[in-house]
Structure 1
Amino acid sequence: MNQSSKIAVLIISAIKGGGAERSVLTLGQGFYELGYEVHILRFKSLTEYDLNPNLNYHMLKFKPYKLIPNERIRHQLFARAVDKFITKKIGKPDIILSNLEPSDRVMVYSKLPNIMYIIRNDISHKFKLTENHNLEKKISRLQRIYKTHPCVCVSKGVENDLQARLGTNITSTTIYNAFDKQLIENMSNESFSTPHRMLQPDQYILHVGSLTYQKAHDVLIKAYAKSSTDYPLVLLGKGKLLEQTKALVKNLGLDDKVIFLGFNKNPYPYMKHARGLVLSSRFEGFVRVIPEALALQVPVVSTNCPSGPSEMLPSDSLVPVDDVEALAIKMTELMKDPQKFKVDFDEKFLPKNIAKQYVDYLVS
């Protein structure tokens, strides 16, 4: 390690196969390109992505602290351990970025300087603030966490929601997710093979995302059933609604047209060869797969959920959330004339450019 380098520490619970985790690794690359010594600190061993060799990885297990019954004391003691670990094993960080609530609940008690929270989701939906049950208690708890350090939101929609829900005493800004266009292109050139004889380049429509309520696969499948396309629908992802989604596919008689490929740590070959990408989400923070598809010149249509898609796509590429008929029409248009939905990748999303925004915000 170069001791003369500035140090960036990115903290996340685990490196599982989600968009936030991929975002952490990509942002880490951005800091590396700025000349930082980059450290990823996680609290669980779970790793589902190939690790960027330019970054340094550490693990400090949270599991033993779960035996402490009082949540606040548990997080206070673990935060003390995190501070000690960083100081002794890493050094004096110039910037510390906490990712997702499990990490945020710990870092609220940290005594280290230069900490920022990265808010990657619309908190209204993430924490069910649209429901009245325990609403005041939920908001108070979130305010206690997020007023302690500046918040960086991954889209304007996420920041607007954060301020609306938690109040203007929360310090926040918007910095978009980073996307390594060259890496995406390189990974998209890996072998494209599948046991499904129906899966031919430019002859299928693709959805990438966990099978959860948020991603609205029920709306996607129903819209696909109503669309006027014979191209198969390919689903990349796993999740707790997998069996429910398969049952819906069967009930609609789509067994021979909907292909479940599960989670793949490299979705880019499938993305590159897709005729088009479709998103059906009810809510999002930013939606990584949109700029990833744009980096590969793949056309995209999406639901216009409260944050994310409208900040990257023109209005003609968007449909209302939970509108099966509108999505069916748009999917038909996408399959018939993909070129109509092509949008250029914006280089403002490149890792080095995004990391520079964090540095500028910290010193502003």
Structure 2
Amino acid sequence: MTDVASDFARTAAREDQAQFSPRVLFVVPTLTAGGAERVITTLANHWAAAGREVGIATFEPETAQPYYALASDVLHLRLGLPSGGLAGMRSILKTGERIIALRRAIANVKPDIILSFLTKTNVMSILAATGLDVPVVISERNNPRLQKFGPVWETARALAFPGAAAMVSMTQGALDYYPPRQRPNARIIRNPVNLPTDLHMRRNGRTLTAVGRLDRQKRFDRLLDAFALIARDFPEWRLVIWGEGKERKSLEAQVKRLGLAAQVELPGLTAEPGCWVETADLLVLTSDYEGWANVIMEAMAAGVAVVSVDCDYGPKELLGHDKSTAERRDGPAGIIVPKEDIPALADALATLMRDPERRNQMGANGAAYAKRFSVQAIAAEWDGLIAEVLSARR
């Protein structure tokens, strides 16, 4: 345990604080590019700036650096034992090692509360904290109906989740998936929007943008098929797909096969998180499923119109097409199309690509709605839950 961690822990003995300020320890596998990682660093930086003591435990090697900027006074405990590449008994043993390492970190840091993100990590956090008298709030970040983990982890989830002090998700649909016993003190808290403050808009009116990991869930193959149907009608437009992942070679081959090399770019990760909005004139999302679709929120906050397939969860509600909600909206922030209808996706893209006025109006509608997801507002919701959990234990 580092000296910084020891300093963090020693504050547990302070009794003279005028106002109780809980020490928070986040747990997440890594601080690489991703939605959960973005939310954690945003909240950690916000609370640290307010003088709160915040730590983040990850299973990364000591040399790992966070993708999102992390304030210097946020404790980052890299526990080692990264995941990947193991199966069977070796994987089970490695999971046990992670639980033991995390338990030691919790015992040394002595947080008042643990905020754990992502399903497997949530199971490990609950087990690691057993008997340490530290409540664990778990946050489920994706679509549990479609994101499968296999029978071992799903059984472990069913056994461990009742031991959480609370469960947080971003949508009611995700919470409803779990039996009541597995979602104690369930709560919906949306993600905060946290775009860079020093953006330099360089939009040219001809850039279609997609953002996400290059993996099967995001279905960029579907996007390329749709773009191929209209690319010749819009020779001045280019499609930029930001992100990195295991599907890169497959997508590059598809671009070549469809004859789109002159109009499609896959530049990898952005140099700065969120800076893709500087050049985006229209965002498209084609995922099979989402937890909430952070990228749509970022587009809306930056005044960028969106075309999205109708996937659970998030796009329909965010873009103003969910008639089950009674929220007042200035108007839709984008177009929703059926998930498997590639011609409809192509038509929706073409509609907005040729109509800058409609894009601008939808962008303005989105920007107005996104204001409710400010860092201050969302952090206050987390503060309320933390206070409630700790109060119930006194």
Q: How much does 1:234 deviate?
A: 0.7
Aligned to 1:170: 183
- Name the CA distance, whole Å, in 2 between partners of 1:225 and 1:151: 42
**Which one is further off, 282-291 or 43-52?**
43-52
When residues 189 and 55 of structure 1 are mapped into structure 2, their CA distance, relative to the original with a 3 A threshold, is farther
Say whether the 8 Å CA contact 1:225–1:252 is kept in structure 2.
yes
Aligned to 1:185: 197
Aligned to 1:272: 278
- Name the CA distance, whole Å, in 2 between partners of 1:268 and 1:70: 37
- Name the CA distance, whole Å, in 2 between partners of 1:307 and 1:32: 31
Say whether the 8 Å CA contact 2:119–2:157 is kept in structure 1.
no
Matched, 1:317 2:335: yes
1:140-219 to structure 2, matched below 5 A, reads: 140-149=155-164, 150-161=166-177, 163=178, 166-167=179-180, 169-171=182-184, 172-181=186-195, 184-186=196-198, 188-189=199-200, 201-219=204-222
**Which one is further off, 94-103 or 204-213?**
94-103
TM-score (norm 1): 0.84
Aligned to 1:114: 135
Aligned to 1:332: 350
Question: Aligned match of 1:26 in 42, 60, 69?
Answer: 42
Question: Aligned match of 2:102 in 82, 89, 97?
Answer: 82
SS of aligned partner of 1:301: strand
- Name the CA distance, whole Å, in 2 between partners of 1:238 and 1:167: 37
SS of aligned partner of 1:339: helix
- Name the CA distance, whole Å, in 2 between partners of 1:217 and 1:348: 30
Aligned to 1:95: 113
For 2:340, the aligned partner's letter is D
Matched, 1:347 2:367: no
Aligned to 1:223: 226
When residues 114 and 333 of structure 1 are mapped into structure 2, their CA distance, relative to the original with a 3 A threshold, is same
Say whether the 8 Å CA contact 1:304–1:320 is kept in structure 2.
yes
SS of aligned partner of 2:26: strand
Aligned to 2:76: 57
Gaps of 5+ in 2: 1-6, 12-16, 322-333, 389-394
Q: How much does 1:289 deviate?
A: 0.9
For 1:15, the aligned partner's letter is L
When residues 299 and 126 of structure 1 are mapped into structure 2, their CA distance, relative to the original with a 3 A threshold, is same
- Name the CA distance, whole Å, in 1 between partners of 2:56 and 2:81: 15
Say whether the 8 Å CA contact 2:169–2:187 is kept in structure 1.
yes
Q: How much does 1:76 deviate?
A: 5.2
- Name the CA distance, whole Å, in 1 between partners of 2:78 and 2:273: 27
Question: Aligned match of 1:256 in 259, 262, 267?
Answer: 262
Gaps of 5+ in 1: 129-133, 193-199
SS of aligned partner of 1:207: strand
Say whether the 8 Å CA contact 2:31–2:68 is kept in structure 1.
no
Identity of aligned residues (%): 26
Say whether the 8 Å CA contact 2:123–2:157 is kept in structure 1.
no
State the aligned residue count: 341
Question: Aligned match of 1:356 in 361, 370, 380?
Answer: 380
TM-score (norm 2): 0.78
Say whether the 8 Å CA contact 1:201–1:275 is kept in structure 2.
yes
Say whether the 8 Å CA contact 1:30–1:354 is kept in structure 2.
no
**Which one is further off, 305-314 or 33-42?**
33-42
Aligned to 1:236: 242
- Name the CA distance, whole Å, in 2 between partners of 1:71 and 1:224: 41
Q: How much does 1:77 deviate?
A: 5.6
Q: How much does 1:167 deviate?
A: 5.0
For 1:180, the aligned partner's letter is N
Bigger relative contact order, structure 1 or 2, given CA contacts below 8 A and separation 6+?
1
SS of aligned partner of 1:123: coil
Say whether the 8 Å CA contact 2:193–2:370 is kept in structure 1.
no
When residues 71 and 159 of structure 1 are mapped into structure 2, their CA distance, relative to the original with a 3 A threshold, is same
When residues 219 and 147 of structure 1 are mapped into structure 2, their CA distance, relative to the original with a 3 A threshold, is same
Say whether the 8 Å CA contact 1:280–1:302 is kept in structure 2.
yes
When residues 154 and 239 of structure 1 are mapped into structure 2, their CA distance, relative to the original with a 3 A threshold, is same
The C-alpha deviation readout for 1:64-108, integer Å capped at 9, x for no partner, is: 9x89957667645643442332332x3x32321111234223212
When residues 139 and 82 of structure 1 are mapped into structure 2, their CA distance, relative to the original with a 3 A threshold, is closer
**Which one is further off, 247-256 or 278-287?**
247-256
- Name the CA distance, whole Å, in 2 between partners of 1:67 and 1:223: 37
For 2:296, the aligned partner's letter is I
SS of aligned partner of 1:283: coil
The C-alpha deviation readout for 1:244-263, integer Å capped at 9, x for no partner, is: 11111112111111111112
When residues 322 and 32 of structure 1 are mapped into structure 2, their CA distance, relative to the original with a 3 A threshold, is farther
Say whether the 8 Å CA contact 1:206–1:235 is kept in structure 2.
yes
Aligned to 2:28: 12
SS of aligned partner of 1:117: strand
